Amino acid sequence: GAVVSQHPSWVICKSGTSVKIECRSLDFQATTMFWYRQFPKQSLMLMATSNEGSKATYEQGVEKDKFLINHASLTLSTLTVTSAHPEDSSFYICSAYLALETQYFGPGTRLLVL
Amino acid sequence: QQQVKQSPQSLIVQKGGISIINCAYENTAFDYFPWYQQFPGKGPALLIAIRPDVSEKKEGRFTISFNKSAKQFSLHIMDSQPGDSATYFCAASMNSNYQLIWGAGTKLIIKP
């Protein structure tokens, strides 16, 4: 099946620093990738839709200057949390869309901001 | 109209029993209904999916039942095993649009 990886799997950082999370589709090309945030015991909340070679589309309420998304190739999208604060601590999950099929999800990245 | 309502919020089933999770939707434009399984600290994994042209789809112990007129679909897990203990999410999308509308999730616990 289609495999999506994320790196790192967990990260701890100090408040005010920036953190980059990578999402890769390992065995297929994904023109579209998605970034989600998940709080404990809650469903996935879509943050943004990322299309290769173009600007990401952010959901209402998501600060695009804080959550920078780059989709430079058909297999790689990155999410950078800029000037992270404790309230940004969460589980971040990416997915890659395989055309005419569905989204395949990465294993997630646990971010803890101290 | 974009919502997908999922129930129950949590479910405890004895080993060997049948686990049933239900979802309901309003938007008749939805044409793809997947179920995802998520273990703690992991991303969701596609379990099984159905399109509205069939009323049932079975893969191993997992079955989706789909009722188009009632705008409901459900996941049945037969012979439930402790390894099935996870959170299950239903979702829906429309016109093969990749964007998924998610249910709230069901935490399933299978008691040995």
Mean pLDDT of B105-111: 97
- The reply to whether B40 touches chain A by the CB within 8 Å rule is no
Nearest residue in B to A49, CA atom: B99
Q: Which of B18, B26, B34, B16 lies closest to B88, judged by CA? A: B34
All residues of chain A having their beta carbon less than 8 Å from the beta carbon of residue B7 are: none
All residues of chain A having their beta carbon less than 8 Å from the beta carbon of residue B46 are: 102-105
- B1 pLDDT tier (thresholds 50, 70, 90): low
Q: What is the dihedral of CA B58, A42, A23, A66, to 10 degrees?
A: 150
Mean pLDDT of B58-83: 97
Question: Is B12's pLDDT higher than 90?
Answer: yes
The pLDDT value recorded for residue B96 is 55
Mean pLDDT, all residues of chain B: 93
The pLDDT value recorded for residue A52 is 84
Kindly give the parts of chain A with pLDDT less than 50: none
- Radius of gyration for chain B, computed over Cα atoms and rounded to the nearest angstrom: 13
- The reply to whether B98 touches chain A by the CB within 8 Å rule is yes
Nearest residue in A to B6, CA atom: A43
Cβ pair A108:B89 closer than 8 A: no
All residues of chain A having their beta carbon less than 8 Å from the beta carbon of residue B107 are: 41
